[in-house]
Amino acid sequence: MAKENAVLSEETLEEELTESFDLNGLEEKLQNELGKELSDLEFLKEEKDKIGNPDALGKVVMDEVWRQFTNQVGLEVTNETLIQKYDREHPETYEEVGKTVMQDQKYKNANKAMKEKQKAGNLKDEYTGMDLGQNDSANLDHVVARKELYENKRRRQANIQTEDLANKDENLKPTNESLNKSKNAKSMDDYLSTQEERKKRLIEQNEKANKKIDESNMSDLEKQKAKEKNNKRLQDKLDADAELMKKADKEVRKAINKDIYKGVTKETAKKAGKDALKVMAIQALSSMLKEIINALVRFFKSTTKSFKTFLNEMKKAVKNFFSKISNFLQAGANSVVGTIVTEIFGPVVSMFKKLASFIKQGISSFIEAIQYLTNKENANKPFSIKVLEVGKIISAGIMAGGALVLGEVFEKLLMSVPFMAIEIPLFGTLANIFGIFFAAILCGVVGAIIMNLLDKAIANKSRKLATDNQVIKGNEVLSTQHKIKIVNEVQLENDKANAQTNISGRHQEAGEIMRDSFGNIMENFVSDFSDSERAIVIDEEDIKTTSEIDRVSDDLDDLLKSLD
């Protein structure tokens, strides 16, 4: 069937070529196509030659250990969340912070302003809507309580001091002393949710207190004043207007949350930028160090150890380093995304020491896998190779996660050694550094073995694919060559036919010319001989004319024979 199709294709092609009027153009097009296909075939051969099993396992292990160590260092220096950083820099207890809030100058100024209003007779209770007289006990209440603000993790993430939010103008509301003490450190929702039950309990407590006063040894006047005081305190609490309190709470929380969100955004952006710079710097330094070491190894292995050779190796190291700039930038970009995502879940992440690093590593691996799959250069690769390549990325991520866990285990074990607790700026304790190193070695070896196996599988599949592509491209070359052959044959036949037509036409034209010339000569000859003088005397010119006629006649005979 394949041969039959080939014959049909050839016959069809010949028919089309016979009808074609621009064979030269078609041949040029096919020649260009052939040149491109030969170039592609040569490229496929070169690519196949490059495909081979990975280097020796020893080199793969060293590369993987180096990568794991660099990765662990990068994660370690960016591991601390904003909340963890704030807690480290502000170790104060709530009792200490609570006192600071009350001693803050903003609170003192607000309290003084409130008393001046009360003295002037224009102070209003924000929770009851009633006026506070000069003899009433007035307090400045923190609408959002100090304790709630102290424990707010987003506030710590925004790097805002408790007193800065607690003593905002919006958060300080004047109310009567009894209501203020009743509310205490409760949130507005908690306080209002038990309002009805609390009213019943307060009334019962007040009745019991008044009963005790009645049973006391106080005078009637003293009893009356004591009960009036109890009743006044009770009424101050009962006068609490839920709607006014909710309104005040809503307005304050809106102002406080605005400050917090603005602070979180600002601090997260700053941290993301710093983390990216740290990661890029660590990767760049480690990469440069690795290239220099490799250059020195090549130099010491070379037969000619001259200064020129040394400079050439150093130049090669620098060139290799700068060729990887895009990798450093990509690592920085991944770090930015990782930091942002980590801080979004900051309150949860801050509860676990290494969770931030796990999230960043997972995000980095995910981004790398997506980039590989969306890269146009990989679009035509078989699905099996894509799966293996993504498997390499995932395996590297898993090994990095394992290194984080092992690093922490090693760190705890090493902390039992006294000098291992020495703190190294930026990197942490010696125990932490050695823990990272040992974990990188162990996970690097395991990861290298896995990478080696995956690389071999990829190499085998790539080699088979390259061979198949070579066969396909070779067939395309043969097909194009066959088309060119057919075009040349058809063009040759056309050239023959055109040449034959041209010759016949020229012969016919020559015959007509000769016949016309011969007729004219004969007419002139007869006319000359009819003249008496020329008929009697034949001179040398006449003899020459006769010879010319004979020669022309012979040429004409030869021409006519060739036409036949």
- Residue 139's DSSP bridge partners are 175
Across the range 143-168, mean pLDDT stands at 95
Between the CA atoms of 395, 401, 403 and 409, what dihedral angle is there, to the nearest 10 degrees?
-150
Token pair belonging to 516: 């016309």
Across the range 339-356, mean pLDDT stands at 87
Q: What is the pLDDT of residues 470-481, one digit of tens each?
A: 667 667 666 766
| pLDDT score recorded for residue 20 | 47
Q: What is the pLDDT of residues 443-453, one digit of tens each?
A: 878 877 887 78
| pLDDT score recorded for residue 17 | 47
Q: What is the pLDDT of residues 5-15, one digit of tens each?
A: 444 455 555 55
Q: Which residue has better confidence, 297 or 269?
A: 269
Whole-angstrom distance, CA of residue 312 vs CA of residue 306: 10
| pLDDT score recorded for residue 411 | 78
Work out the pLDDT band at 108, boundaries 50, 70, 90.
very high
Residue (of 328, 327, 320, 338) closest to 277 by Cα position: 328
Domain spans, the chain: 46-76+271-470, 83-267
Q: Which residue has better confidence, 4 or 316?
A: 316
Instruction: Say what the pTM is.
Output: 0.66
| pLDDT score recorded for residue 380 | 80
Q: Could you tell me the CA-to-CA distances from 114 to 11, 169, 174, 233 in Å, in that order?
A: 106, 12, 7, 20
Work out the pLDDT band at 558, boundaries 50, 70, 90.
low
Strand 172-176, strand 423-424: pairing: unpaired
Across the range 178-193, mean pLDDT stands at 91
Please measure the distance between the N-terminal and C-terminal CA atoms of the chain and give it in whole angstroms: 48
Whole-angstrom distance, CA of residue 239 vs CA of residue 229: 15
Whole-angstrom distance, CA of residue 241 vs CA of residue 247: 10
Across the range 376-398, mean pLDDT stands at 82
Average pLDDT, the chain: 79
Work out the pLDDT band at 482, boundaries 50, 70, 90.
low
Percent of the chain at pLDDT > 90 equals: 36
Residue count of the chain: 564
| pLDDT score recorded for residue 286 | 87
Residue (of 464, 467, 387, 463) closest to 54 by Cα position: 463
Residue 372, classed as helix, strand or coil, is: helix
At residue 375, does pLDDT exceed 60?
yes
Whole-angstrom distance, CA of residue 266 vs CA of residue 260: 10
Q: Which of 29-43, 89-103, 306-320 has the lowest mean pLDDT?
A: 29-43
Across the range 157-177, mean pLDDT stands at 95
Whole-angstrom distance, CA of residue 170 vs CA of residue 179: 19
Q: Which of 128-137, 348-357, 442-451, 464-473 has the lowest mean pLDDT?
A: 464-473
Decide if 236 contacts 174 (C-beta within 8 A).
no
At residue 536, does pLDDT exceed 50?
no
Whole-angstrom distance, CA of residue 182 vs CA of residue 234: 10
